[in-house]
Chain A
Amino acid sequence: MEERLQEILAPYKGKSDALIPVLQEVQAELGYLPEEAMMAIAKTTGVPESHVYGVATFYAQFYFTRRGKNQTKVCTGTACHVKGAARVIEAFERELGIDCGCTSEDFEHTLETVACVGSCALAPVVVVNEEVHGQFQSSSIGKVIEDLKE
């Protein structure tokens, strides 16, 4: 990880205004932002550690703990909400045995909500590993999870 991290950070030496793209790039590589990575980012960009932490925690996109191999995001936009997103979340919680916002102990699954993915005409929408599932029915959850095992 150390090596890869240095590779990503190299072009950003001293570039404090590139903080958000740096955080995004590091997270894309590591899956989340571990403490060592945040400290390395602070060192490279010349931004104080407290500021890096302050910025990273301000934005919903950044994670600070290891996440599951498969990521399920239930859209909770207005259209999805009125079409029963809350029930979809509950159904996923039951099926995966984890609370929304959490990662399973075996790191297979992370379940969370997303404010709106902008596919409102297909509400309710669930995004599984970047794939958009529209007009989602809770009865298909079993199959969705089964497909992930392949």
Chain B
Amino acid sequence: MLQRINSPSEMVEMRDFCKAAFARQKVRFLVCAGTGCIAGGSMEVYEELKRHIAERGEDVDVELLFEGKDSEAGASISGCHGFCQMGPLVRVEPKSTFYTKVKVKDVPDIITTTLDEDSVVERLLFKNPDGSHAVAEHDVPFYNRQTRIVLAGCGTIDPEDIRNYFAVDGYTALAQIFADHSPEEVIDIVTQSGLRGRGGGGFPAGRKWKAGYDAKATPKYVVCNGDEGDPGAFMDRSVLEGNPQAVLEGMTIAAYSIGARYGVIYVRAEYPLAVVRLQKAIAQAKEFGVLGENIMGTGFDFDIDIFQGAGAFVCGESTALTLSIEGKRGMPRVAPRPRTTEVGLYDKPTLLNNVKTFAYVPDIIRKSADWFKAIGTESSSGTAVFALTGHIKNSGLIEVPMGIKLREIIFDIGGGIPKGGKFKAVQTGGPSGGCLPESLLDTPIDYDSLDEAGSIMGSGGMVIMNERTCMVDVARYFLQFTEEESCGQCVPCRLGTKQLLEILNDICRGRGKKEDLDLLVELSHSVHGGSVCGLGQTAANPVLTTLRYFKAEYEAHIYDKCCPAGVCKELISFVIDEEKCKGCMLCAKNCPVDAISGEKKQVHTIDQSLCIQCGVCFDKCPNKFSAVECVSPKIPVTPKEKMEVS
């Protein structure tokens, strides 16, 4: 039965066969093998689970299930569950029992409670804010407000075994279009669904596909943009690592629609695991005849290659990306230029979409355009995937219906700001986006509302910042990024970002001038107006939004030489509160420049002339004392102290 699929109708038989095989395993331990959990040691947990199951005399080899044997229990890896902060994660099927921060030593308890006692290991369950425990994954507040489509497969299937994807209807959408739909009909379905490009721009996918279909030249290409360059974002990475087959299926459906023979997946150099999983996925898909030559016996050919990026943010732009594949410098083509759908890779018609855009397609085909359109808002249908990170209690990957309010994401799903901190800003859209303040938390998440607020939807990075984040420093941080990543061909971008950065550096160092604020705005508009690609056009967004919503903070830096958040080194000093210091000596021991003096059980003092503001003393001082304080403006260093030093 496990052989090449020779007709679309055989696909359904394959699905039922795989489903039945996996159903023979009564209990399945799914260990998250996303990058985050692997860093926490999840593979060791996986090996230990397998060892214990084998010791109980259970066969752990999946192949036996396909030979018709029953199994009491088995372990398998899965893609990223999304709740990376609580990793390593283990989910036990069929009850979806959800264990967090699992260590190797916890494995025996998990095994015996599950298989012998039919109970759970309470200490590993997620603890709700009210102290109760969430047993199943869908009981955890982080998950129960999400609508998972693209992420549905991540965390529930083994990304390294295509039969898992078959068992959850994988490739039945492709079989369905081969059997029932012409390319035009497929494009109609995508158009009617209202799917918009998930790379950030939000261009209607159906229109792009139609343009690809209309293009006359051959051969045509389908390119998947996995050059997820926004700092603070890892949605595409998780989809590529967690459910690579969905991306391959979506690309193949696109290829059928526009008549493409070849496909390329452009993956960031920093994502080695995604490359490995994709290589395996492509090899398996070819083996089963759902990719390559004569797909499902229909005579349709489509091959996919992987191209590894070499570390250039600008290559996320479509024309730069195609040039990069051709072995050139990734410099966006100058407008006016034909669309990539007409002149793209090797100057041939090229359909380029983001990883998630392709991953939505199989579901849309299977469940209908109306089903997708019913989720989200009128102009932005479906769901949005975000990497929720920064100063947030529940950090990880989330998928929510479009139209949900920022507040719901941050406080209901994200659980708010940790350690009693206060919300200050939310950053979306990476270096092209902006920072929104508390007053805009009721903004609904969709392409147009975020645009209006001065930010952008972007590809899905969402970084939460607490009151100890300096917004001038954040603007500087992003400008430093775009200045470095500017390809250099447009002068306003190449030099404008540099000048913006210089001004922001000055402000952060206490050398800001009154006229800097107007200059920042003027320069921002010049950079926006004088650049050909999205990188330059949006590079000043972080400056403009922080100026719009946090102007007082800029003014404090310029007029009072004060960094209210206590971040900008040149404007702060660390001092020890005499009342609170208990003389534990921790700060003095750890100070890298020996600027702290004091005896045991005596109050310590910091020599300001030696202090380099590294903040180690602040971090080291035990929470119960909190004797080290950060003050701004800086305490002036007296000439006397200076003389003593020399």
Contacts and interface: CB of A to CB of B under 8 A. Distances in A.
Interface in A28-80: 47, 54-55, 58-62, 76-79
A55 B481 contact: no
Given A24-B310, A87-B615, A119-B84, A132 B39 contact: yes
A108 interface: no
Contact of A17 (B233, B327, B388): B327
Most buried by A among B390, B397, B614, B619: B390
A77 B312 contact: no
Given A91-B614, A121-B36, A121-B389, A77 B232 contact: yes
B465 interface: yes
A114 interface: yes
B481 A16 contact: no
A120 B395 contact: yes
Given A78-B430, A121-B36, A132-B38, A116 B324 contact: no
Interface in A77-100: 77-79, 81-84, 87, 90-91, 94
A118 B270 contact: yes
Contacts of A5: none
A122 B85 contact: yes
Q: Which 3 A-B pairs have CB atoms at the shortest separation, nearest pair first? A: A78-B232, A60-B311, A118-B234
A26 interface: no
Interface string B361-400: 0000000000000000000000000011111000111000
B40 interface: yes
B395 A121 contact: yes
A134 B40 contact: yes
Interface string B15-42: 0000000000000000000011011100
Contact of B390 (A21, A83, A94): A83
A119 to B, nearest CB: 5
Contacts of A84: 615
B326 interface: yes
Contacts of B85: 121-122
Contacts of A23: 310
10 contacts: A17-B327, A58-B312, A59-B309, A77-B232, A87-B615, A94-B592, A121-B36, A122-B84, A123-B389, A134-B39
A77 B390 CA distance: 10
Nearest to A122: B36
A115 B313 contact: yes
Contacts of A139: 590, 620
A117 interface: yes
Contacts of B388: 121
A104 interface: no
A36 to B, nearest CB: 20
Contacts of A94: 592
Interface stretch (B118-126, B173-181, B223-231, B246-254): B223-231
Interface in A101-132: 114-123, 130-132
B272 interface: yes
A130 B272 contact: yes
A60 B397 CA distance: 27
Given A60-B310, A132-B39, 11 more contacts: A17-B346, A23-B310, A24-B310, A60-B312, A76-B231, A118-B233, A119-B36, A120-B387, A121-B85, A123-B390, A132-B36
A138 B616 CA distance: 9
Contacts of B427: 78
Nearest to B85: A121
Contacts of B487: 58
B35 A77 contact: no
A91 B620 CA distance: 14
B329 A133 contact: no
B39 A119 contact: yes
Nearest to B269: A61
A58 to B, nearest CB: 4
Contacts of A60: 310-312
Contacts of B609: none
B308 A24 contact: yes
Contacts of B312: 58-60
A18 interface: yes
A78 B231 contact: yes
Given A17-B327, A24-B308, A118 B228 contact: yes
A16 B390 contact: no
Most buried by A among B38, B83, B231, B619: B231
B474 A133 contact: no
Contact of A116 (B270, B309, B329): B270
A17 to B, nearest CB: 4
B182 to A, nearest CB: 34
Nearest to A115: B231
A122 B474 CA distance: 19
Interface in B582-632: 590, 592, 614-616, 619-620
Contact of B229 (A115, A121, A122): A115
A16 B326 CA distance: 8
B328 interface: yes
Contact of B391 (A21, A24, A82, A118): A82
B463 interface: yes
B396 A121 contact: yes
Most buried by B among A47, A55, A118: A118
A8 interface: no
Contacts of B327: 16-20, 47, 55
A82 B36 contact: no
Given A132-B38, A134-B36, A17 B326 contact: yes
Contacts of A132: 35-36, 38-39
B79 interface: no
Most buried by B among A61, A62, A90, A115: A115
B389 A59 contact: no
Interface string B448-481: 0000000000000101010001000010011001
Given A61-B310, A121-B396, A78 B36 contact: no
B510 interface: no
B35 A118 contact: yes
B332 interface: no
B434 interface: no
Contacts of B561: none
B269 A82 contact: no
B241 to A, nearest CB: 10
Contact of A58 (B228, B272, B329): B329
B330 interface: yes
B574 interface: no
Interface string B72-87: 0000000000011100
